[in-house]
Chain A
Amino acid sequence: MAHVGRVLALIIVILLSSLRASAQSAVTVPPPPFWPSFLPSLAGVWTVAIGANGNLQPDFEGAKQFRASALPIPSIHRPGSREEFVSPRDNASFALFDWDAFRAGPVGKLTAARTASQNTALNGLGDVATALELGGFAEYLPVDWLRARVEVRRGFGGHDGVVADFSADVIVPIVQRVTWSGGPRFTWEDTRATAPYFAITAAQAVASGLPAFDAKGGAHAAGAGTQLRFQVDPHWEVHSYVEYDRLLGSAAASPLVTLRGAPDQVRVGLGASYAFDIRVPGAP
């Protein structure tokens, strides 16, 4: 829980620092000495956002203990694009194809290694290496207040299976500065993505005291999530979210979960970011 204190302290420091920074207007920075002519010009106004996000989440997938973590919120974009809806579940992605209400492109996710030493529930189960998942995403927003998104990723490292995340959100502006969003979630995984985390081999059964278990792929989790964003002023934004998942299939049936963990997985987060403009003069 010491992590929680550190995260809150970081957020408070950022909030206090705004008392000076909020009075500043656009900062002018020099253009680069060279810029390939085939790339869009850097000239103009850019909005830089910095901040931090504090999360409280299960220590590992299926755990009943929580751990706190903090992530920075770095972002540089043209003015106007900050209001784009981003769910806490979205992984890093780039809209290579952008046409009206439909967008698609590559997506990536990094899943931290799970070590047997990080939690007593994992004793005897061995380590699972860090997994890099790469794939594609597609999302559809028929109106401003509704988004459906799917990510399909293939793992490398910790697992080499396929994971598909489905989500839908309604995005409701309550007043100009407050937006609420939320909706259902569903995750499907194949056997190769599920087994490294939930199967228990004979050797692991002997070492851990858990019964051996053969994890299969299929419906992995279903749940819901909600997010609240509050734009305090033109520079500051605070947001919070709650994501709930109920493990399904082999993940829920694994002895790791039934005997030492919990199928109900909750993740909460609180974050703040400060945005300011920089201006890049120069030729095209």
Chain B
Amino acid sequence: MTHDEVLALLPTLVNGTLEPDRREELERHLEDCAPCRAELAAERRLSAALATAPPAPAEDLLARTLARIDAEEAERAPARAPRREPAWERIARAWNRWWRPLPVPARVLVAVQFALLLVLGGAVLQQPEPEGELRTLSGTAGGAPAAGRGRLLVLFEEDAPAGEVRRLLRAAGASIVDGPSAAGYYAVEVSVGDDPAVDLTAAAAALAARPDLVELASPVPRGAP
């Protein structure tokens, strides 16, 4: 290794990025070369001066940064998740696409039939439907959960911090697939194994173990409407 090569490599020796084999070679040269050793000493003084620690950052810098994170997480809270188009709006759009091109007599006929359906449907809806809202939400978001997945209905506490809710869901391996319903329920899916009922009960218990965040977590039996 020539004298010039050594001088060119000294900065990388000082900052620790010189490859090991070249380092050995360079150190052998330094043993016998006083000018290069002096240069190395100067290089080390330069490095030490630049690597000097600055005065400590403000004590509250971490707290300020965490507060910014909290603000961002709050914006992405489940309650403010991008709004899914409600089913009735999708039906209304489909209806309009189909209805508008029809000739007037056909529209009248359809309107009469629709009025009859409303009357009959109203009579059916008079029947009490326990847990109607839960049942409806459990069957939304693309129907039944995929194989290996199970569904829970979860009601979060009104003032639960969004960041905490996200962490809880992540820890439970759960993800929100629909909601909130008008009453505030979310459909939440988790992975399940050979015995989905046991896994769903365990997942519901894990969520309910945080009563400060979760008001209710209830497994949805497979095949529920």
- A and B form one complex: no
User: Residues of B at under 8 Å CB distance from A?
Assistant: none
User: Residues of A at under 8 Å CB distance from B?
Assistant: none
